Every structure is written in structure tokens, then in C-alpha cells.
Amino acid sequence: MKTGIVYHEKYQEHNLGPGHPESPERLKKIMESIAKILDDPNIELLKPKPASEEDLLRVHDKNYIDKIKSMGRTGECFNFRYTRSFGGI
């Protein structure tokens, strides 16, 4: 059985600001570690693909998905209160 690791260079642009644990530096270190095991035939590096709404509904409530879509159209900034309000993430 193989282990798949989904990665794209664009992930390096995900930056929630100084001091937040999700940072480009952290991802860079993780990928440096993963690079050391990529010659293992049981490890496969995969490129991401867009999720369909059906995919998203497997793990998120429809109200949450609709709110995120609306934010994308209006440019509203994501606020972590939405994850609690909509029972998401």
C-alpha cells in the first residue's frame, strides 16, 4: 500500500502572519524532510486537483460552503469565527 502526499508549490503562498504555526517556513521544512524519503516506492508525491462541491460536502456543511463561496465573490476576509459558527473545519 502506498502513501500519497499531496503538494503544490502554491502552498508556499499560504501565510497567516507572523507567529502563526501555518507558515511557508514550516511547509518548507516539512517538504525538505519528505524529499529524503521520496525514493521509497511506497511514497508517492501527488499534485492536487480541484475539489467538486460533492467532495466538499463530504466534510463540510452546505451553509459553510455557501459562506466561503460568498466571501470569494465579495472579497470578505476569512475569519476563524466562521469555522465555529458553521461547524466547519
Each domain of the chain, given as residue ranges in start order, spans: 1-49, 51-89
Contacts of 13 (CB under 8 A, 6+ apart): 24
Place of cell 503544490: 8
pLDDT, residue 79, reads 58
**pLDDT tens digits for 23-76?**
899 999 999 999 999 999 999 999 999 999 999 999 999 998 998 888 878 776
pLDDT, residue 69, reads 87
- CA atoms of 47 and 6, how far apart (whole Å): 6
